[in-house]
Amino acid sequence: MALATVSGRHGMVTAPHHLASAAGLSVLRDGGNAVEACVAVAATLAAVYPHMTGIGGDGFWVIRESDGRVHGIHGCGGAAAKADLSLYAGHEAVPTRGPLAANTVAGTVSGWAAALEGGTLPLDRLLRDAIGHARAGVAVTAGGAEIAAAKGEELRGQPGAYMATFEPEGRPLRAGDLLCQPLLADTLQRLADEGLASFYSGALAADIAADLAALGSPVSAADLAAHQATRPDPLHVGIGGATLYNSAPPTQGFASLLILALFDRLRAGSADGFDHVHGLVEATKQAFLIRDMHVGDPAFHDYDWQGLLDDPAALEMLAAKIDPARALPWPQPPQWGDTCWFAAADGDGRVVSCIQSTYFEFGSGLVLPRTGITWQNRGSSFRLAQSGWNALKPGRKPFHTLNPALACFADGRVMAYGTMGGEGQPQTQAALFTRYARYGVDLQEAISRPRWLLGRTWGDQSTTLKLEDGFDERLYVDLIAAGHDVERVGPPTGTMGHAGAIVRHSDGRLDGATDPRSDGAVATW
């Protein structure tokens, strides 16, 4: 049965797992706000969706307060002090799995702490459901089982507690099997008891650092203690009828905004027609060309990202590079990454767009034996070079595919939207936003309709233009004729991301949608 847009009034949560949505809604029902609900969602996802996210990764927030103020939080860790070129002598690239892939501090928990400043509910209430699910266990979803089976061979040989946690019977967990994470439950309880700062200093941090050292990671106790979340202003751009917001670098939020700003300058066509799909794909190429030259840790870049977004003439010049009839050849290498986006809105008018990740599925593959934390491999994206884009440097933050989106419409609507999917995140954001905002497509339908992706699929370096089945047959023909390297990938697939959205209307009514490609749900009251 097709999903329908869900409506509510008092509060709403959307997440890619139904138990996480339920955890967030229960916080709203108990008087918590949208930020507190998102912390509950984030923690629960670590227990029920650990192949996609966890407390050993990074996270980014864009928050629209009830008074209209929009601000951001980056829970993003930098490279360890020992993570320099000498550490990788003999390597052509940073490994994607194992101890040397676990080379950055995990910033997610610091982002929670920053977001919760001024909150009202106690931490043990916010983490209650996550602790319960991690301890009692949850049924593995079909999607989770598929990923565990596909990635098991490269993960089960890693040092640490991966096998004990995710293959306790010597095989990947199957759909319906019970996934229990008692060590993670203990760690979440320690955070509830000792405070979120204990992740970075104190007894919990000492256990984390000891595990990382024993497993061979360069991340030290000193690296953990030196970390703190930051609050850079989100980037923004005005388009017809709305102002769009997204996370500042080192995320690719700039590219997500630029795609929509360029498309806003093209002729409209019709939803999912050639002008729509070709226009967004070509806008994506222009945005990615700039992204791959200039987006990274702001401490190592002097590019004026907001200045470009504020310059109508510069945007017009970039839009003019898009040929309305022909595809730009596209040999660019893809960016990797899988993640979880989620959102919440409360009855006071607060709307939160949030995303967090351990980068690859199960991150580095290191599961810390004392704490049950799966540590990210975000730093495997660093280049082993003396200088230039995303070159490895101690303390440097890696380029991030993560980017939570938010839009404020001239008519008073506020929309939080996003997706997992690495290279596909800006593209899926652009598809669902333009369908809804420009063409008036129903919110749930805007997510459920077939999608496209220029670039990689899971485990594949292909840079074709991939399209799901379900578009008008003429579209596939016209895209090929225009020079696109079209690859048809069949029915709707998680390759295209796990998207979601919440829209708050000016009268307080809430609409929400989730992705049928995920195990998600919209929860409301």
Q: What is the per-residue pLDDT across 416-469, written as a single tens digit (0 to 9) for each?
A: 999 987 788 999 999 999 999 999 999 999 999 999 999 865 445 678 999 999
Per DSSP bridges, beta strands 510-514 and 6-8 are antiparallel
What is the structure's pLDDT at 2? Answer: 82
Which amino acid would we find at residue 119? G
Residue 167 CA to residue 148 CA, distance in Å, equals: 9
What is the pLDDT, as a whole number, of residue 333? 54
For the segment 125-148, the average pLDDT, to the nearest whole number, is 95
Least confident of 232-241, 312-321, 467-476, 489-498: 489-498
- Are 246 and 254 spatial neighbours (Cβ–Cβ below 8 Å)? yes
- Would you give the distance in Å from CA 424 to the centre of its chain? 10
What whole-number distance in Å separates Cα of residue 445 and Cα of residue 171?
Answer: 38
pLDDT (tens digit per residue) in 300-349: 988 999 999 999 999 999 999 999 999 999 866 555 455 789 999 999 99
**Does the active-site annotation cover 358?**
no
**Residue 356 · residue 422 · CB < 8 Å:** no
Output phi, psi for 487, to 5 deg. -130, 120
For the chain, how long is the longest CA-to-CA vector? 62
The predicted model scores a pTM of: 0.95
Q: Exposed, middle or buried, 304 (CB in 10 Å: 0-12/13-18/19+)?
A: exposed
CA distance 384 to 94: 7
Which residues make beta-bridge pairs with 483? none
Copy the structure tokens of residue 301.
């870049």
In this model, does residue 70 exceed pLDDT 90? yes
Among 5, 53, 108, 339, the active-site one is 339
**Residue 143: pLDDT above 90?**
no
pLDDT of residue 41: 98
Encode pLDDT of 391-405 as tens digits.
999 999 999 988 999
Mean pLDDT across 169-185: 96
Average pLDDT score, the chain: 95
